A and B are shown apart, each in its own frame.
Chain A
Amino acid sequence: MTTAPEPHIVRPYGDTTGDGMVQISFTLPISSLGDQAKLAEGAAAQLANKMGMDPALVVHAKPMGPDFTFFVVYGRVHHLVDTSKVVVVERDYPLLTPKEANASIKRALRRRLTVVGACIGTDAHTVGIDAILNIKGFAGEKGLEYYRELKVVNLGAQVSVPQLVERAREEKADAVLVSQVVTQRDAHLLNTREMSAAFRESYPTDRRPLLIVGGPRFDESMAEELGVDRVFSRGTTPGEVASYLVHRLTTQRKAS
């Protein structure tokens, strides 16, 4: 009996529709030197089987010193992917060009919109915040400094949370952008929670600037849990950030 394939049900694709072929690589802390080689390959196949690969083909096993072996495994998985059940944060704001963004701000606020940005905690990696804020920009888009109607205050790296709150107050920030690259021991999550708590504490709810956090290892669905308005993850461009700012700060302010 054949049923027409449902378009939202897919399997991995090797070279034939529905073959379910995947490739993985990993290291096991076991030797594959000399007569241990067979045992090591068997161990790798066992892991692949347990992960759902069947059949699993160990195509490469390389000893790394006496205690470790690196494996590459190809094999078939039988799992189905249902794309109708994938949950993602869809972009819920229109993408604007810098010109449109400037016009919207001018129309709605009749002043420049102030953005304060920083890397907080011990994080010294300003790559992210600079990519978004510096005029140089990222991925072919100019950074927020390029927007005539945005006033950008980039505090740089290793800014403490109290310093950030103080500067945000001083500058009457409409939005605060925080970048976190270092994720060791979940530093990015801890720092973000500390930051959002500090802003909540020192501002009345309706006056608090928009809090935005970004970095390569953030999960975009975590905004609420972290106490911020928006999380941006890997690959976010300055244009997206600017569009989001305009959307939140011009349309919603008008409504309230």
Chain B
Amino acid sequence: MSTTGRTSKRRTKLDLDPATVRKARALAKKAGRPIVKLAEQHTTVAVERATLRLAGLEGADAEGTPWVNRLMDVVRADTGLEHGVALPVWDALVRGEAEDLSSLAQKASAGSVTFRLPEGKDAVRARTASRKQVARGIKRIDQRRVERDRLIKRQGDAPRKPWIYLIVATGDIYEDIPQAQQAAREGADVIAVIRSTGQSLLDYVPEGATREGFAGTYATQENFRLMRAALDESGKELGRYIRLTNYASGLCMPEIAALAGLERLDMMLNDSMYGILFRDINPVRTFVDQRFSRQVHARAGIIINTGEDNYLTTADAIEAAHTVTTSQLLNEYFAKEAGLEDWQLGLGHAFEIDPEVPDSFRMELAHALLARELFPDAPLKWMPPTRHMTGDVFRGYLLDGFFNLVGALTGQGILLVGMMTEAVVTPWISDRDLALQNVRYVMNAAGNLHEDFRPEPDGFIANRARQVLGESIDLLDRILEHDNGLLDAIADGTFGLMKRPADRGRGLDGVAKKSSVYYNPASEILEEPFETVASQPPQEPKREKKRRTL
């Protein structure tokens, strides 16, 4: 085996102009900065409920409504959302209204506790008590992170890059488990459990082990726990740590991020704008929830996967190529701002160009290479064709082979395995087996081809990459021309065809501007500098820092 190909190579394959790249990043920062400010000034019911979850409040009432929702609703009715949940709740606990959070939630929903906003010494006491309890939850997340590192050391890591990412989605966690374990045996390094279709618009996290879902399985703490335990078992059996992925998106993303940290999930889908553009969730709600969930992921050592593939499934993959780059730049800015490191940025992109278009493969290569060179240290997530999978499984199999080849040529970090039966059925056992043979063949035959591959400096690929980067800079410029920057751009449909004004969309009633006494112990702890014991990705080869002189 040769080296992983980073040694004797010339510096970059596309020779992007460093000044242009710097400009693109500067524009993304300029567009993102006001959004971060906005996020800092607001809170949401989901952020507050996530705080309660970090403090250890679990479970649901007889009707299945989580206690965090019940408690949040009562507190909100008594003192409002704008001060946060911590002060009124721990004030009540300090006053001795209940002996713990769980009984407080029960009493509160029975109507036997009234909350108030503490002042003076009472406020100090409530702050201290809340911080102490929430810190325990965050410590638990830290422990889970250390545990992951230890397990990877003990069991071994995925044997190669890209990691092979497979999806299970039966709706029934007890069906998912054997399927996931079988997928791991067949070679999956990462298992993603797709969520039930409706979940992103639920304003609560369902509770317990679930056996029914539509086109996916509900994300619940218990389901996380069950699947984690099963994959730890597989890791032991197979001698490599199997990573688990779920979705921190939709109306509950901060809570799901917290649960992911507590239950040692390894990757989470987490995009800065997906909920707004594709789910019609209110922009402010999304940006606030996003920032908190990213902070949790940063702390938990979770790799985020962003959702740029969605731009290509709803618009033409050639015309919209630059929207992917723009979104990647924004996601990178938002992620770094929240404390995520390069190795945690699974920036997304996809192989979705119409195969009938001449030179479609060269364009795919150009786009993938552009992402690789713009984000040299990020484990990019490479997603397979879906739009042009027609039901002709034979043609689809070939298309997936070419998708895999682009992955090999451009050093993708995470490869979502394409299924030839995409758009026909949920994958059969044989579909998965054939798909993995496809990946294995390409990686075995051409996995190191990138060492020999360098596109002509002025050729089709390099020019196309430069063109897309240029168009993405133009788009960022257009975003910044708006009075209110990104918010207005989202409102008037600058991003694709979807118009999403800041005062509309789902979940807006769960947003409040923070008051001057607002306090949230989780945010406070997450904003503090964090000493990572093992923040380095295990077995990640040391990169030459020189490459980051962009």
Residues of A within 8 A of B (CB): 25-27, 62, 64-65, 68, 70, 122-127, 130, 134-136, 156-158, 182, 184-185, 187, 216, 234
Contact = CB atoms under 8 A, between A and B. Distances in A.
Contact of A70 (B185, B214, B315, B433): B433
A123 B186 contact: no
A122 B196 contact: yes
B484 interface: no
Nearest to B201: A158
Contacts of A125: 197
Nearest to B171: A184
Contacts of B280: 156-157
B197 A27 contact: no
Contacts of A136: 315-316, 497
Contacts of B430: 25-27, 64, 68, 70
Interface of B: 171, 182, 185-186, 196-198, 200-201, 214-215, 278-280, 313-316, 391, 423, 428-430, 433-434, 497
A59 to B, nearest CB: 15
Contacts, number: 56
B214 A157 contact: no
Given A27-B429, A184-B171, A184-B215, A127 B314 contact: yes
Contacts of B315: 136
Contacts of B497: 134-136
Grouping DSSP codes into helix (H, G, I), strand (E, B) and loop, the B interface class, with mixed when no group exceeds half, is helix
Q: Tell me what chain A mostly uses at the interface: helix, strand, loop, or mixed.
A: loop
Given A27-B429, A185-B214, 12 more contacts: A64-B186, A70-B433, A122-B197, A123-B197, A124-B197, A124-B200, A134-B497, A135-B497, A157-B279, A182-B197, A184-B171, A184-B214
B179 to A, nearest CB: 12
Contacts of A122: 196-198, 214
Nearest to B391: A234
A124 B274 CA distance: 13
A61 to B, nearest CB: 12
Given A136-B497, A158-B198, A65 B423 contact: no
A133 to B, nearest CB: 10
B426 to A, nearest CB: 8
Instruction: Pick the 3 closest A-B CB pairs, nearest first.
Output: A122-B198, A70-B430, A27-B430
B384 to A, nearest CB: 16
Contacts of A234: 391
Nearest to A131: B314
A157 B214 CA distance: 14
29 contacts: A27-B429, A62-B433, A64-B186, A64-B430, A65-B182, A65-B185, A70-B430, A70-B433, A70-B434, A122-B196, A122-B197, A123-B197, A123-B214, A124-B197, A124-B198, A124-B200, A124-B279, A127-B313, A134-B497, A136-B315, A136-B316, A158-B201, A182-B214, A184-B171, A184-B214, A184-B215, A185-B214, A187-B214, A216-B423
Contacts of A187: 214
Nearest to A122: B198
B201 to A, nearest CB: 5
A60 to B, nearest CB: 11
Contacts of A62: 433
A58 to B, nearest CB: 15
A27 B421 CA distance: 15
A65 B436 CA distance: 13
A124 B251 CA distance: 14
Nearest to B182: A65
Contacts of B278: 126
A156 B499 CA distance: 12
A124 B216 CA distance: 12
A62 B429 CA distance: 12
Contacts of A123: 197, 214
A250 to B, nearest CB: 28
Nearest to A66: B185
Contacts of A65: 182, 185-186
B18 to A, nearest CB: 36
A123 B197 CA distance: 6
A217 B13 CA distance: 45
Most B Cβ at <10 Å: residue of A25, A62, A123, A124: A124
